[in-house]
Amino acid sequence: MAERPWRNPRPAPNLDEIRQHVPAKNFLPQFLRSWWPALLWAFIIFSLSTDSFSSEHTATILFPFFHWMMPSLTLGQFEPIHFVIRKSAHFTEYFVFCVLLFRGVRAGRPGWRWTWALAALSIAAGYSALDEVHQAFVASRTSSPWDSLLDSVGAFVATVALFLWFRFRKPAASSPADFPGFALRAQTNAAAAGAAPRADRDSIQIPAGTILPVRLNHGFSSKSTRVGQQLTGRIMQDVPLPGSGKIPEGSKVIGTILSVSSAGNNSAGRITFQFAQIEVHNRKTAMVTNLRAIASPMEVQFAQIPETTPGFGTPYAWATTDQIGGDIKYGVGGPVTDSGSQIVGQGTYDGVLVHVKAQPESACRTDLDGNHQLQALWVFSAGSCGVYGMAGARIVHAGRTAPIGEITLSGESRDVNVRSGSGMLLRLIR
């Protein structure tokens, strides 16, 4: 705890002040908007498992129809058709159920995450097992593990279909006009391979001072990393831009290792890197960034764990969490307060929106070049600046001064080890 003084208890802001910023009446409608289709479909599935939809009852409805279509059809010929229809219904109803469950778990948030998909698939598979247990107590129905497996296959196919949809669909905001103030330069495969990107009518610009909240996809170390190795990171929160535009969560930043020095007897490990590209909807643009803050995966996890366990029936989104650096987030839609209990921003589903604070002792600055947009800081505080939870590591050069954009980390008589899942705040210079 001594290494994380921002997690020490401190007075909460005035209750009346918090109530003014917490739109509690919006939480329940949002929950219902996300989950009512899945809950309704679950009730329909339950109804289809009753005596009213047994094989005998559906046969009395379907056989006359097929016999009217094919007068020569006998009961013996109808049986395999009836079997296929009933099993297809199993597959279809759980395909639809999994899609609706994904909608509920997603809760209006953009993009695709495997955690959302796996949660939806698990709920669908569990419900299919319970459905078969229910049928075991209905005299006219039979319970079969093969039916439960078929249900789960339908849910799995729905998961794959959702993944392919989000992976290959044409983004709605794919034209430059949909990214006001955001420069996204279209690049051909040749350009991505090393050719200079062409400046054309698709070229626009990212406002200087925009902060990108990034989670590293792969770790690197001054002991084992090689010069030229590629670095990638995922933007973890929608980044607001002027004119109601945004850089969507899930976009990618791409960087390179520039130099590496491993630790010796009398020298510390050093590693220099830069993030020089951002990719949004398969389009890339060049950028120059500096490093405002970096935190270990453990610190990132701590910042997403509630201070106290939510009470029974309390949505997880309402939970209070401690941001890296000292701020407190009072749930989704609630205020974000600093160590002095002053409100500095607002919580969102995937992070926080705040105005950053200057830190003169470490050269971290506030708004730049007239960019007064709220900044997306994910799990970080408005005043976050420097290294968190990485013992012995320090930022030797943040990239704000020459050589601009080059970031150097150093260890104290040891190698620098930045693990996969570490969080960073990168700030665009140009």
For the cut 50, the answer to whether the pLDDT of residue 181 exceeds it is: no
Burial string for 405-414 (b: 16+ CB within 10 Å, else e) reads bbbbbbbeeb
Segment 127-133 shows an average pLDDT of: 88
Give residue 197's pLDDT band: very low, low, confident or very high (50, 70, 90): very low
Lowest mean pLDDT among 20-24, 314-318, 319-323, 348-352: 20-24
Which stretches within 371-417 are classed as H helix? none
Cα(162)–Cα(280) distance, integer angstroms: 20
pLDDT at 371: 60
pLDDT confidence tier of residue 253, bands split at 50, 70 and 90? very high
Amino acid at 81: I
User: In angstroms, rounded to a whole number, what is the distance separating the alpha carbons of residues 115 and 321?
Assistant: 21
Q: Would you place residue 73 in the very low, low, confident or very high pLDDT band (cuts 50, 70, 90)?
A: confident
Q: Among 359, 356, 339, which Cα is nearest to 428's? A: 356
Burial class of residue 305 (count of CB atoms within 10 Å of its CB; 0-12, 13-18, 19+): exposed
Predicted confidence (pLDDT) at residue 114 exceeds the cutoff of 80 = yes
Per-residue confidence (pLDDT) for residue 407, from 0 to 100: 95
Q: Phi first, then psi: what are they for 420, rounded to 5°?
A: -60, 140
Question: What pLDDT shows up at residue 189?
Answer: 40
Residue 393: which residues within 8 A CB-CB, separation 6 or more? Answer: 294, 387, 409, 410, 411, 412, 416, 417, 418
CA-to-CA distance for 368 and 290, rounded, in angstroms? Answer: 13
Asked if pLDDT for residue 244 goes beyond 90, the answer is no
Per-residue model confidence (pLDDT) at position 111: 75
Distance of CA 183 to the CA centre of its chain: 23
- Cβ(223)–Cβ(417) under 8 Å? yes
What is the C-alpha R_g of the chain? 27
Residues 267 and 411: their CA atoms lie apart, in Å, by 9
pLDDT value at position 202?
Answer: 42
pLDDT of 26 over the 90 cut: no
End-to-end CA gap in the chain: 38
In this prediction, residue 177 has a pLDDT band, given cuts at 50, 70 and 90, of: very low
This model's pTM is above 0.75 = no
The arithmetic mean of pLDDT across residues 402-427, rounded, is 91
pLDDT for the residue numbered 276: 93
DSSP-assigned letters across all residues of 273-314: EEEEEEEETTEEEE--EEEEEEE-HHHHHHTTS-SSPPPTT-
Indicate the domain borders of the chain: 29-168, 176-428
Share of the chain above pLDDT 70, in %: 80
- What's the angle, vertex CA 245, arms to CA 241 and CA 251, rounded to 5? 85
Q: Which of 277, 291, 206, 217 is nearest to 246 (CA)?
A: 206
Distance CA 97, CA 274 (A): 44
Q: Which residues pair with 408 in a beta bridge?
A: 272, 397
Task: Out of 105-109, 156-160, 352-356, pick the least confident.
Answer: 105-109
256: nearest Cα among 233, 282, 279: 233
DSSP state of 73: -
Taking the CB of residue 77, how many other CB atoms lie within 10 A of it? 12
The pLDDT value recorded for residue 378 is 94
Token pair of 319 as six digits: 């939970």
Task: Say whether 214 sits in a helix, a strand or coil.
Answer: strand
Between CA 131 and CA 38 the distance in angstroms is 15
